[in-house]
Structure 1
Amino acid sequence: MSDPRSLTETRPYRRISHAAGLVTIGAIYFGLAKGGLALASIHPSATPIWPPTGVALAAVLLWGYRTWPAIFVAAMIANATTAGSIGTAIAIATGNSLEAVVGAYLINRWSNGCHTFSSPNSVAIFAVICVVIATPISASIGLISLAIAGYIEPTYFVDAWITWWLGDVTGALVIAPVIVLWASSHHQALNRHDFFETCGVLATAATVGLVAFSPLIEQTPGRDPLGFLAILPMLWAALRRGPRDTATVALLLAGITIWGTLTGGGPFTTADRNASFLLLLMFLISITLPSLLLSADVEVRKNAEDGLRRAHINLERKVAERTQELELANAAKSRFLAMASHDLRQPLHALGLFVAQLRTPLKSEEMTKTIERVDATRKEMDEMFNSLLDMSKLDAGMLVPQTTEFPIARLLQKIETTFDQATREKGLRLRVKRTAACVRSDAMLLERILLNLVSNAVRYTLRGGILVGCRRRGEMLRIEVWDTGPGIPEEQKQNIFGEFFQVPGTERNRSGGLGLGLAIVDRLRLLLDHQIDLASTLGRGSRFAVVVPVIDACVTTTPPADSPHPGAFAVKDKAVLVIADTPIVQEGTGGLLDKWGYSVLTAGSDEAALIRLAQRQQRPDLIISDYHLARGKTGIRVVEELSAVFGSSIPAILISGDTTAEPLRDAKNRGFILLHKPVDPMRLRAAMHELFRDRDGRRETGAAL
């Protein structure tokens, strides 16, 4: 808030500054007016040299309409002390003030105001306003008042009006541009080259003026054509130096030619001094106005070229930046493929060794142990593929947070259930401290963050344990994951959230994984706008903390009942159609479902499926199909065609190795379940039971109705 005392102190200063400005403008106007009136010959109040018009017009353009009182007072005093009466002086001052105010108003409205000299069109409009509208006001009001008061003979009225008008026109076209351009371009700094070129233009103009117009050289008939040399510095300024220097050269030439004509030198000198000055005015107008138009046109072209040059430079910079980004992306992609290929080959290599062991005679306990290792390796590969799938979804922008309010206890319970067996197998102790706090976040994405953090802790912790707990800090809840692992070096703390990064350690610390867990955590916390804190000490362990908004209470719902044991579902009468264009997938899926007790039909295409179904004369209760099939067909299209054949919708589960957004979106829009390869058998079994339970529930509801 502004200090009232400072405002009180500022207002008098502004008033004094404004008054001083008005006095300065008035003094300049008065001095130029007295000098111009001293050159009048046809009538004491009608002079061909009238610089005050340019000063007044520039003052109103630059400092606003409030400058008119200074113009009015100065013009009245100048005319009252020269000729006529107080009444005619007031009338002439009124015309001079209106000339400046009307001219400035029209220039502001039609010709960009102080920027009127920035384009040829606006310069032309400026000239029309000055010549046709503004200056006739002063000449007409002044001479009419003098004629009414009897201070001018009617026979001299037209000559006096033309003299008065041309004097005002020249003042407006020669004086006003110089003042406006220099006052409005003070921020432009000249470099050394521009400074010397400007000095060269002005020196050339002064030399030409002295040679062609000054009384220092004897006036002869052969000297008259030298006046045309004045166009050379004007063209130089217009083509090279812009409107400001062009107007300055015009003013310099005007001063020299007026001095020369007044003292009897130059080509415009005649026996009649008023006629000499009128010739001079026409010369000044004829070289000044075209030069201003040309300089404005050149300036526009230069600005356009500069704009194109800057745009070209920016385009080149953006192309270079984009090229660098693409190069980095290609390098990252190559690194991605190399790292993924290396880490995925590890469990595949192990699987090959385990399969080789299974081909040899094994004891019962050895067989069981080898099968457990095969399953563990499969789970490791499944975790790797899930990480790749998560990164793919994040990169594609497929994950959209669904913020809700829920008790954090649900996630903590799932953490404990998920990692209880894994920690016991490694000889670690897992402690999860429950809390009744409710938070605001996306439950699924926050769960993924915590699962990744705890999984990372379990992977790198060899002894001790993992602690998961919560601390409330004001309106935020810190969900902390502590471990007694090897810790993270200080220089690596910023790198651990990068893709494929794993903290260097001993060989026994090296375990399966792609090094994407914390990268996924970082992407998800940015998506949720959550903060993550890290503290770690080498040899003592690490602590990750996720900071989420906490609420006082949330609407609790009855937790869903646990899914019944698979054996509780009757599967003997359930017919399942498996469609896959790869025989090994048909055999694997069909054999597993057969072991689970389902009646299974397998086919490689929709045509083969129709033949098998026709042979059995049976409608399938469920279709499990690959998303991508042969000849460009999709599982969705096949399921819809089979449903149309049987006249009703058939539940379906789609299996896809495509992690792009399109398969997931298509399946969701049609109400199908989509599972990504490799599919965990238990996940497939749970999805099947979910579909059968929903269908059986709808049937029971329909029967009850």
Structure 2
Amino acid sequence: MAIFAYLIRLLILFFLYFSTAWFGLRLDPVEGFATLFWPPTGIALAFVFLYGYKLWPGVFSAAFFINLLFGAPYLSALGISIGNTLEALLGSYILKRFIKFNPGISRIRDAVGLIFITAPLSTVVSAITGTVSLNLGGMIDQGSVWKTFGSWWLGDITSNLVVVPLFFLYLHQPFAKLSDLKLTQLILFIINFFISIYIFFGFSDFMTRASPLSYLVFPPLILTSIVAGQKTVVTSAFLAAIISVYSTVKGQGPFAGNDLFYSLLLVQSFMSILSITVILLSAAISENKKLELQKDEFVSIASHELKMPLTTLKALTQLLMKRYQQGKNRSKLLYIEKMEIQINNIIRLVNDLLDVSKLNYGLLELKKEKVSLNRLIDDARELALVKKRNPVTYLPLNNDKIIEVDKERINQVIYNLLINAMIYSAKGKKIIIRIINGEGYITVGIRDFGKGIAFEDRGRIFEKFYRSDDNSSEKGLGLGLYICAEIIKQHHGKIWVFSRGKGEGSEFFFSLPLSTHAH
């Protein structure tokens, strides 16, 4: 079975190498052999790296026969095929031994290693052996040696930059099902495709005369890197490169001119810059996402580990409180009460971290049931009043509303907003809860008469870890309002804040649909 798989890969490599080499050697190569776009280099490197050095016969035989077919003498074809094979083997060795390369190109290290080390170094071998073989075989004279070497080397480098990322991402990672593709990915891919078609086939004289307009492909590709991920942007960049080559060969687009060699040199520069930008940007974004996931995983594990000892500590504190409440040592009881307050604060922070972790992994499940809105607000109000800090006035509707929600989570939202209002209000200042009845939805408003919210903070106050620049002594991690917003969002509701500015107080609102199917 292993031999069968090996032979299949060998045949696929031979076919891809031979067919793309045939295409490359038809693109006005220098002295008939040194082309400015040589896709086989990237294909060979990807296959040898992913499936092992034992695939070298596929590279050697394909290179040998294609050069014979295009008129190279036997010994020259042999020398060229040896150089092409060594190029793939050396490139794979550099990536594995020195770069510790991840074919998912998910780190900046991978991108830099491929672009600035492997691509230029490994291709020198093929360019030197190929040029020397042609010179010794009488195919080129001394005056054409440097031009042939330069074209050969640059063509192979471009192939490593354009072709290798595509093959690595699709051969190393499993193919996505069509059902798994997001609409955003599809839309961005189509946009990139049509922009490439428009630019490189020069639908107007203005476009064909203005080469810099070819770089209009960059903004949508950068957006694709940020929004749609590596596969989509690398595929789009590869497609743009192929379209640019094809249009130039056909005499169209911003790079087309009377001299095909010079035109392809311009295309090569464009493709290299395009690929370098896409590879570096997508690798940086991928690495950043990976670090975010690792951070979330650490927070989740740490929160779980902290919760158990904190629960035990809280239980022991409550036992001590009961013991000293029966005695006359009031000073010790006061210290224990303060200790319990701090333990409760830590537990609240740990619970917030756990909630954020669940939200990040999509694990926050809602257990919906029909409940009384008045009852929900009363429960949260009574819980907040335990702090004995601010009076809370509730202005209910005459007719109670029954809503279908996760009772615990909506209670958490109301409680968090009440505590938030207390923290940012002077002690004794009243807080008002009111209900606004709308068509198909119900809105809850919680108003305080405290510090208010600066205009620049209002747009970011529901962001994760965001904390306004104020002098409050009870600052948390900046998670409470973020969690509230996410819970309301999962109930298909909305949350917002109104404040006239600093010192004017603020009012937080959230609305929930009265129907379970409302969005």
TM-score range, shorter chain: 0.5 to 0.7
Match of 2:82 in 1: 94
Shift of 1:48: 1.4
Q: Distance in 1 between matches of 2:269 and 2:209?
A: 21
Match of 1:56 in 2: 44
Correspondent of 2:154 among 152, 160, 166: 166
**Could you list the per-position Cα deviations for residues 272-294 of structure 1 after superposition, in whole angstroms to 9, with x for gaps in the alignment?**
10111111001111121122112
Asked if the contact 2:31–2:139 (Cα under 8 Å) also holds between the matched residues in 1, the reply is no
Tell me, yes or no, if structure 1 residue 135 matches structure 2 residue 123.
yes
Asked if the contact 2:104–2:168 (Cα under 8 Å) also holds between the matched residues in 1, the reply is no
Identity of aligned residues (%): 27
Aligned pairs, number: 325
Match of 2:13 in 1: 25
SS in structure 2 at match of 1:45: coil
Q: Distance in 1 between matches of 2:317 and 2:158?
A: 68
Q: Distance in 1 between matches of 2:82 and 2:209?
A: 46
Correspondent of 2:240 among 253, 257, 264: 253
Tell me, yes or no, if structure 1 residue 241 matches structure 2 residue 228.
yes
Q: Distance in 1 between matches of 2:185 and 2:146?
A: 42
| One-letter amino acid matched to 1:229 | L
Match of 1:209 in 2: 196
Shift of the 273–242 alpha-carbon distance from structure 1 to 2, 3 Å rule, reads: same
Correspondent of 1:313 among 300, 303, 322: 300
| One-letter amino acid matched to 2:273 | S
Shift of the 214–44 alpha-carbon distance from structure 1 to 2, 3 Å rule, reads: same
- Could you tell me the TM-score, scaled by structure 1's length? 0.43
Match of 1:68 in 2: 56
**Could you list the per-position Cα deviations for residues 598-634 of structure 1 after superposition, in whole angstroms to 9, with x for gaps in the alignment?**
xxxxxxxxxxxxxxxxxxxxxxxxxxxxxxxxxxxxx
Q: Distance in 2 between matches of 1:84 and 1:139?
A: 16
Shift of 1:125: 1.9
Q: Distance in 1 between matches of 2:23 and 2:209?
A: 32
Deviates more, 1:97-106 or 1:318-327: 318-327
Q: Distance in 2 between matches of 1:116 and 1:110?
A: 17
Match of 2:251 in 1: 264
| One-letter amino acid matched to 1:77 | F
Q: Distance in 2 between matches of 1:55 and 1:216?
A: 33
Q: Distance in 2 between matches of 1:329 and 1:83?
A: 89
Match of 1:14 in 2: 2
Correspondent of 1:82 among 70, 74, 80: 70
| One-letter amino acid matched to 1:37 | L
Match of 2:135 in 1: 147
Shift of 1:318: 3.4
Match of 1:275 in 2: 262
Q: Distance in 2 between matches of 1:179 and 1:221?
A: 32
| One-letter amino acid matched to 1:39 | L
Q: Distance in 1 between matches of 2:198 and 2:222?
A: 18
Shift of 1:116: 6.9
SS in structure 2 at match of 1:93: helix
Shift of 1:134: 0.8
| One-letter amino acid matched to 2:291 | A
Shift of the 41–18 alpha-carbon distance from structure 1 to 2, 3 Å rule, reads: closer
Q: Distance in 2 between matches of 1:116 and 1:108?
A: 13
Match of 2:434 in 1: none
Stretches of structure 2 lacking an aligned partner (at least 5 in a row): 325-519
Match of 1:651 in 2: none
Shift of 1:135: 0.9
Tell me, yes or no, if structure 1 residue 302 matches structure 2 residue 289.
yes
Q: Distance in 1 between matches of 2:98 and 2:227?
A: 27
Tell me, yes or no, if structure 1 residue 111 matches structure 2 residue 99.
yes
Shift of the 59–50 alpha-carbon distance from structure 1 to 2, 3 Å rule, reads: same
Asked if the contact 2:225–2:233 (Cα under 8 Å) also holds between the matched residues in 1, the reply is yes
Q: CA RMSD in A?
A: 2.6
Shift of 1:105: 0.3
**Could you list the per-position Cα deviations for residues 559-615 of structure 1 after superposition, in whole angstroms to 9, with x for gaps in the alignment?**
xxxxxxxxxxxxxxxxxxxxxxxxxxxxxxxxxxxxxxxxxxxxxxxxxxxxxxxxx
Shift of 1:308: 1.8
Shift of 1:191: 8.3
Correspondence 1:226-625 to 2 at 5 A: 226-328=213-315
Point out the structure with max Rg over C-alpha. Answer: 1
Q: Distance in 1 between matches of 2:221 and 2:249?
A: 23
Shift of 1:130: 3.4
Q: Distance in 2 between matches of 1:167 and 1:48?
A: 4
SS in structure 2 at match of 1:69: helix
Asked if the contact 2:120–2:157 (Cα under 8 Å) also holds between the matched residues in 1, the reply is no
| One-letter amino acid matched to 2:106 | S
Stretches of structure 1 lacking an aligned partner (at least 5 in a row): 1-12, 339-705
Shift of the 26–222 alpha-carbon distance from structure 1 to 2, 3 Å rule, reads: closer
Q: Distance in 2 between matches of 1:155 and 1:116?
A: 43
Higher relative contact order (CA 8 A, sep 6+): 2
Q: Distance in 2 between matches of 1:115 and 1:329?
A: 53
**Could you list the per-position Cα deviations for residues 480-502 of structure 1 after superposition, in whole angstroms to 9, with x for gaps in the alignment?**
xxxxxxxxxxxxxxxxxxxxxxx
